[in-house]
Amino acid sequence: MRVLVQRSLKSSVTVNNKVTGKIAKGLVLLVGFTYNDTEKDIDYMVKKVLNLRIFDDENGIMNKSVLEIKGQVLSISQFTLYADSKKGNRPSYIKALKSAEAKKLYDLFNDKLKKQIKVETGIFGAEMQVTITNDGPVTILLES
């Protein structure tokens, strides 16, 4: 499981000219799954994402989590996180989990996040336009 975390001032996702998810200050998560990912990977990633200290404290030091700042999460499914472009110029997605299986894990990941924080999402498998105001910029790749 890979999650690309971006600290955001505000972000949104649009599908077919309709906003399906929108957040104020918080995290944008681009989420991808590969073979052998399990609920254990999801539990690890939920804990890691929610407790990642990348928001400034009163001294301007990145020392607070999204939970501590009462932020929000915009979660976007992103199979291209498992692109392999070592050979040629056309990426291979063979390492990305098949859609039906990935959707189940993605939904479980979001459900577990929603127990602790406000979560907005795009639509799994849809063509999406994601607008991210990356704060910092701060972008961190997490892997389980």
Tell me which DSSP letter residue 98 carries. Answer: P
**For residue 47, what are the CA distances in angstroms to 50, 62, 95?**
5, 18, 24
Peptide bond into 91 cis (omega under 30): no
Phi, psi for 62 (deg, rounded to 5):
-70, 100
Is 80 among the residues known to form the active site? Answer: yes
* Cβ(67)–Cβ(25) below 8 Å: no
Active-site residue, from 20, 80, 133, 139: 80
Q: Angle formed by the axes of helices 39-51 and 99-114, to 10°?
A: 40
As annotated, the active-site residues are 80
